[in-house]
Structure formats: C-alpha cells, structure tokens
Copies of this chain bind each other. A is one copy, B any other.
Amino acid sequence: MGTQANYAGGKLIAVDWGTSRLRAWLVDGGGAAIAEADSDQGIGALSGGHEAVFEALVADWPKVPAIMAGMVGSRQGWREAAYVPCPATPAALAASFFRFSTGGGRPMAIVPGLVFHAAWRDGDVIRGEETQMIGMIDREPAFAGTVIMPGTHSKWVRIDRGTIVDFQTFITGELFALLSEKSFLRHSVAGGGGDLVASPDFGLAIERTTGEALPFLASLFSVRTRQLLGNVSREHNLAYLSGLVIGGEIAAARDLGALGPGTAIRIIGSRSLARAYANALEVAGFDAEALDGSELVLDGLTHLARTIGFLEKAA
C-alpha cells in the first residue's frame, strides 16, 4: 500500500481496449503516465460486464475521468462510438466522442473511429489506429505524407498537416497467416519464426512484386514450384511468401496513390514488422522512418483528453 500515495497526482485514466488486450495508464496533469495496468480481457473475450472489468483493473487509482480508444467503441464493445468521415481533424474527432458516466458516476469518453468513402469501392473503417494518428500529428503537426501501420489488418493513412485525408486497409498479416498455415503452400514453407528479412528471397519477392510488376495473384503458385523445381529451402520460401504479400501490399498502395516519388513515410508498429516494411520499402525505392506505436497511443489519448476538458491544456 506504500505506493498508493504516488497515485494522488493522477488526473486521467487513458485506456487502449482492443480485441485481445486491455491497457490503462494513470496520467498526471502534465500528461505523463504515473502508473500502468493491463489485462487479457480484450473486447473479443467479453460479452457484457465491461464496467466491472474496467473498474477492477483501476480499483487502486483515483476516481478520475477515463478516455478510451479501440474496439471498446465498436458494436461488440462497451458502447458504440461513431465513425467520423475523412478528411478528419483531431477537433472533428473530439466533437464526436461518445460520452457517458459509469454506474459509479465516473465520466467516460470513447474516441470515435474513422470512415472513408472512396468512389471506387465501399467504405473503409479504422477503430483504434486513429488515436495513434492523433499522437503522431501532435508530435509532427507539419507532417504531410503516408503513415503505415502494418499488422493483421494494415492501415495506410495519408496525413496532410494535421488532417487525416484518407486511408486504406490491407489484410496482409491475416493473408500471410492463411497462406503459410492453412493453404497447400504450408507444405512448401517453414513453420514460422526466424528472421525473414535476412533471407535474400524476401527482397527478391519485393523486387518482383513492386519493381517487375508481377501481379500478386500470379505470384503465389510459384512458392510451391520454387520448392518442387528449385529445391529452395522452406525457410527461404517463407521469407519469399512474406515478401510477396508485403510487396503486393506496397504495389497496390502505390497504384492507389499512397506512395509516389518523394512521399514522406512513417511506419508505426512492432520492431520486427517495422523493420520488414522499412526494408521492403527501401527495395521498392522509398525511404521510411519507424515510430514507436505504444507511445503514440498514450500521446493521442492525452491530446484528445485535453480537447474535451478531461485534462488541463498543456502549458
């Protein structure tokens, strides 16, 4: 109990509540995290009972307002928050928060998601990553370019000096898992792990899909024939398959106008994924800079908390 005194300066609880994890930070008046808590009770594991789960996690902390982002605001979450249309500013997001009070009287706010309606396809949505975008804009207000958030469902977001212009989702990580683990190609690739980027076959696949215009759908069967005819090892073949899906994603994003000569690029993601994408982009002729995603979530949440009065404006 000796540490409880440290919580006294807490003014806000910032929450990142996604499908598989719940993370909370106790934040002081200056926006610094003074305590952290997390659990595996993600939205995907719950069917109701959100308030009890949340209050149990932060029971030792002061009864201050909480701001939340992620799947907690989806139809399957605690309360459904809106989708704000792009182009969108941090102010537009702040104006569409879902506000409520818990049974215990704690003021709550859920960050809305983003929706983008393109002429050439149906709408695309973001829920969760918008908060990292806000954190990124808070740090680099003059940034104009493309932000890539690789993962199970990669997001490519175009930003222009504080405005989230548009975005595109690619299901790259999921597709790679399906192809390498569930398709007939699983017999031709290693079981996973290892440093895929270190294999020259990763770069070869990137070069073919981005430089030589090999269509992604025309590239997949060759993962099998490389083993059948060329005796390529399963480890190198896994790297090749990884390069095909990431290279296919980069080529498609380029076709959509998210990449061009001189486009400024930031990558937000885990160290290994960020490295793979930076390497792939380099092969494709683009420079990219990697940022730490977990820090940006907290930055975004505290920035947004200030705009809705949950935290005092920064001095």
By a CB distance below 8 angstroms, the chain B residues around A121 are 208, 214, 218-219, 222
B252 and A218 contacting across the interface, CB-CB below 8 Å: yes
Which of A153, A171, A178 counts the most chain B CB atoms within 10 A? A171
A214: chain B residues at CB < 8 Å are 120-121
User: Which of B115, B220, B221, B255 has a CB less than 8 Å from the CB of A213?
Assistant: B255
**Nearest CB of chain B from residue A199's CB, rounded to whole Å:** 15
8 Å CB interface, A136-153 against B: 153
The contact of A208 among B120, B219, B249, B253, by CB within 8 Å, is: B120
Q: Which of B122, B213, B216 contacts A225 (CB 8 A)?
A: B122
A222 to B217, CA, bound (A): 18
Contacts of A122 in B (CB 8 A): 222, 225-226, 229-230
Question: 1/0 per residue A193-231: CB within 8 Å of B?
Answer: 000000000000000100011111111111001101110
Q: A245: nearest residue on chain B (CB-CB)?
A: B217
CB nearest to A227 among chain B residues = B122
Specify which chain B residues have a CB less than 8 angstroms from the CB of A251 in the assembled complex: 215
A123 is an interface residue with CB less than 8 A from chain B? yes
Chain B residues with Cβ below 8 Å from A183 are: 171, 174-175, 178
A169 in contact with B221 (CB, 8 Å): yes
Bound CA span A251–B49, Å = 48
Cβ-defined partner of A178 (8 Å) among B123, B178, B229: B178
A125 proximal to B (CB < 8 A):
yes
Contact A123 B256, beta carbon cutoff 8 Å? no
For A253, the closest partner residue in chain B by CB is B218
Query: A131 within 8 Å of B by Cβ?
Result: no
| A252 / chain B contacts, CB cutoff of 8 Å | 215-218
A100 within 8 A of B: no
**Does A124 count as interface, using CB distance less than 8 angstroms?**
yes
Q: Which A residues between 255 and 295 are near B, CB-CB below 8 angstroms?
A: 255-256
Whole-angstrom CA separation of A258 from B78 in the bound complex: 51
Q: Which residues of B contact A75 (CB under 8 A)?
A: 228
CB distance from A246 to the nearest CB of B (A): 10
Which of A153, A174, A208, A213 has the largest count of B CB atoms less than 10 A from its CB?
A174
8 contacts across the A-B interface (CB closer than 8 A): A125-B225, A125-B229, A169-B221, A170-B218, A170-B221, A171-B183, A174-B184, A175-B183
Q: Which 10 A-B pairs have the closest CB atoms?
A: A215-B252, A169-B221, A122-B222, A217-B252, A122-B226, A218-B252, A178-B178, A123-B229, A123-B225, A121-B222
